[in-house]
Chains A and B, each alone.
Chain A
Amino acid sequence: MTDIPPPPMSPEPSYGAPAPQPPNNNLVWAILTTVLCCLPLGIVAIVKAAEVNSKWQAGDYAGAQASAEAAKKWSIWSAVAAAIVAVLYILFFVVLGAASSSY
């Protein structure tokens, strides 16, 4: 990974201002990989998304930012893993088909 920017929020609570949105917890990717690709990584991504929101709500903004980075990393990995598995699986059947059709 490249340099991680400092967390944008100071850990002190803001004064009466409405709480801004927590960092992106990538829950959409987590749900997509769980429902469509079905990988254990998708469930890890949901847990990471839960960490982002619970840390944010506890006022741990730096922790929420770190969990958001982790959630993003898990989402990318699960998407990459799904793509690799799909390619290997298609290759497996192509090879199997070629082997069974040869005389």
Chain B
Amino acid sequence: MVEPGERLLARLHPSVAPLVVGAAGLAATAYIASVDPHEGGHYPTCPSLYLTGFYCPGCGSLRAIHDLAHLDLAGAWGMNPLAVIALPWLAWRWLRWALESAGVSVTTRPAPGWALYLLAGAVILYGILRNIPALAPWLAP
């Protein structure tokens, strides 16, 4: 199924899309690194936290990105361990996309279905556990 956006992209060099996305990611990271999300007032409170009062699985991601950009792995892990695990994976998927667009074939095996079901379950469990006060020192942002 070819969509209009994909048709436009097809006329450009295949590496344009990953390069644009990579540049946008770097720019966003640089912004988050320089404007500290640990300090109130720099970014609005996440709508879901504001409305529900619960930490969702994504809470603390901006602070984790800020800490990672400053090479503070322990700080990032304390904010959102899920983000610390997910970000290198996203970077790898970007690299694979960029390499494939440049004609370098990367052979990978697709993840087994059960592993992805396990991931979905783990994300839900993580979202519940990080709101339990006794576990807050490890899981809450």
Contacts and interface: CB of A to CB of B under 8 A. Distances in A.
Partners in one complex: yes
Interface of A: 2, 4-5, 21-22, 25, 27-28, 31-32, 34-39, 43, 46-47, 49-58, 85-86, 89-90, 93
Interface residues of B, number: 31
A35 B111 contact: no
Interface string B13-34: 0000000000000000000000
A103 B36 CA distance: 33
Contact of B116 (A36, A49, A86, A89): A49
Q: Is the interface of A mostly helix, strand, loop or mixed?
A: helix
A32 to B, nearest CB: 7
Interface string B53-72: 00011110100000000000
Contacts, number: 81
A31 B23 CA distance: 20
B117 A50 contact: yes
A52 B114 CA distance: 11
Contacts of B1: 2, 4-5
B113 A93 contact: no
Given A43-B124, A50-B114, A53-B113, 15 more contacts: A2-B1, A31-B89, A37-B58, A38-B56, A38-B57, A46-B120, A46-B123, A50-B119, A52-B113, A56-B113, A57-B110, A57-B112, A57-B113, A85-B47, A90-B44
